[in-house]
Homo-oligomer: A and B are copies of this chain.
């Protein structure tokens, strides 16, 4: 591949002139034309490493993701990637397979790769995380979790869960099972539960039981079956769409019709929830936008711009068929 020197030689100018052409300095029209022609002919591309060496401004952004095979993660990644590309950055993905220590490792390893900054699709933020951020002095943007010391983009879990809770109540449900996840996950495990609970607390006449499961569909199926057997609610409110899908399966295995015998709701807005039957009533988060926002925030940070510590990404309740309207009858 050609270097800037080759181009300069072919154009009969100094390499500084070519560099100036590339970066927009003052150049006469004929020289500009000449260089332009040569560059087009040769398909020259500047060597990124040489550029970054002097400029000290790496253009790679590291993204740490707990898993690649999740709808939410891939949507967020897509958003990050698209926007980063527009801003002339590259995305380096590091997958941690949901192992927390690997997140820390990854921070250091990305630091080593000389990334300009890090976007972390976080699950929890520990002291070790903060230590890594401090030691590497890398700008960090969190997605999906909030921390008062780190820039964060979060889905508005609390408000969404509150709205969903209201919706459930409005439709006449009074015996409710909430199927959540570990409280270690602040956003999904705590915020959603709390938001939902806030809505419920505004009424006196309803009975709620809280359960906990993992993010896996299989586990959700088991626990849902158990809930149906022992508590027999009129609705199961699930903390994620995958869990809701599991609950749906459990209902079917038990021979319960959804929504007439049992209602179910999810969280996430995965495409599949609109395809299955019955369509799942869920909260749609704008994951791709969140990713976009994260990319934008990080780049702004890199250019010493101002960014709010916390950014909320939008949501909307998608009403489909999985919730029985007891008052509509």
Contacts and interface: CB of A to CB of B under 8 A. Distances in A.
B217 A246 contact: no
Dominant SS at the A interface? helix
Given A74-B69, A108-B45, A252-B277, A90 B92 contact: yes
A81 interface: yes
Contacts of A53: 47, 49-50, 53
A9 interface: no
Interface string A97-129: 100000000001101111000000000000000
A58 interface: yes
Contacts of A245: 272, 275-276
Contacts of A73: 74
Task: Using C-beta atoms within 8 Å of the partner chain, give the interface range for chain A.
Answer: 35 or more
A82 B93 CA distance: 12
Nearest to A137: B1
23 contacts: A45-B111, A48-B112, A49-B53, A49-B114, A68-B74, A68-B77, A68-B81, A69-B75, A70-B74, A81-B93, A81-B95, A90-B92, A90-B94, A90-B113, A92-B92, A217-B275, A245-B276, A248-B277, A249-B275, A249-B277, A252-B277, A272-B272, A276-B276
The residue in A49, A82, A95 that gathers the most chain B C-beta atoms within 10 A of its C-beta is: A49
A202 interface: no
A48 B59 CA distance: 13
Given A49-B49, A58-B49, A217-B271, A111 B1 contact: yes
A46 B108 CA distance: 11
Interface of A: 1, 45-50, 52-53, 58, 60, 67-71, 73-75, 77-78, 81-82, 85, 90-95, 97, 108-109, 111-114, 135-136, 217, 245-246, 248-249, 252, 271-272, 275-277
Nearest to A69: B74
A9 to B, nearest CB: 20
A253 to B, nearest CB: 9
Contacts of A49: 49-50, 52-53, 58, 114
- Residue of A75, A81, A275 contacting most chain B CB atoms (<10 Å): A275
Given A49-B49, A78-B95, 9 more contacts: A1-B136, A46-B112, A48-B113, A50-B53, A60-B92, A77-B95, A90-B109, A245-B275, A246-B275
A68 B72 CA distance: 11
A86 to B, nearest CB: 12
A295 to B, nearest CB: 12
A28 to B, nearest CB: 28
Given A52-B49, A113-B48, A277-B252, A69 B71 contact: yes
